[in-house]
Amino acid sequence: MTVARGLQLDVKRALAVTAVGLTGAVAALVLVLQLAGSSDAIDVQLGDPDFRGIHAADLAAEIADHGPVPFPDLVGNELPIWVHHQGDDPAVGWVTVSARVPDSADCLVQWDGPSNRFVDGCDPTTTWPADGAGLTPLAWTVLGGELRIDVARTGGTSP
């Protein structure tokens, strides 16, 4: 008569397979951690490269009534900007400039309504015209009635 044998466990073989598996997992983890921390080539960019969602005609009317509009916290508080509009056509005539005083990390550009000029917040004797000449420009476009301002880079030209 045949007797069924139960499952036999080879302890040596089980320990060897477990040791190889753990060693492989630890080696893979070490490799991933080394690759993650060894390169400066990773550049995380979240969000759009441009500031959008601005209805150009509405903003142009607001600026005509109350003057340029500041946007204080774009790109992680590194790029406050001023948006101004000149003329009657909301598709053209936009002035988009950095609100940081050129060559200064601490001073911001302010708007002086009575003189219709931009003013250095640290030195009120330093001013710039309403067209932003002398300030750091940001490129802009109007697409389908929406004003888009390129916040990924400064120094661009506008149409």
Q: Are strands 117-120 and 146-150 parallel, antiparallel or unpaired?
A: unpaired
Question: Three-class SS of residue 119?
Answer: strand
Note down pLDDT in tens along the chain; length 159 residues: 666 666 677 788 888 889 999 999 999 888 888 777 655 555 555 556 677 888 999 999 999 999 999 988 765 657 889 999 999 999 999 999 999 999 888 899 999 999 999 999 999 999 999 999 999 999 999 999 999 988 776 554 444
Contacts of 156 (CB under 8 A, 6+ apart): 137, 138, 139, 150
Range of the domain at 112: 50-150
| Residue 124 located in a structural domain | yes
Question: What per-residue confidence (pLDDT) applies to 156?
Answer: 46
H helix and E strand count, the chain: 2, 9
Question: Three-class SS of residue 12?
Answer: helix
Question: What per-residue confidence (pLDDT) applies to 157?
Answer: 46
For 151, phi and psi rounded to 5 degrees?
A: -95, 0
Question: Three-class SS of residue 100?
Answer: strand
Any idea how long the chain is?
Answer: 159
CA distance 59 to 69: 9
Query: Considering its fold, how many domains does the chain have in total?
Result: 1
Please report, for the domain that includes residue 120, its CATH number.
2.102.10.10
Question: What per-residue confidence (pLDDT) applies to 49?
Answer: 67
Question: What per-residue confidence (pLDDT) applies to 74?
Answer: 60
Q: How many CB atoms lie within 10 A of CB 121?
A: 16
Question: What per-residue confidence (pLDDT) applies to 77?
Answer: 58
- Of 73, 71, 75, 72, the closest CA to residue 46 belongs to 75
| Residue 18 located in a structural domain | no
| Residue 17 located in a structural domain | no
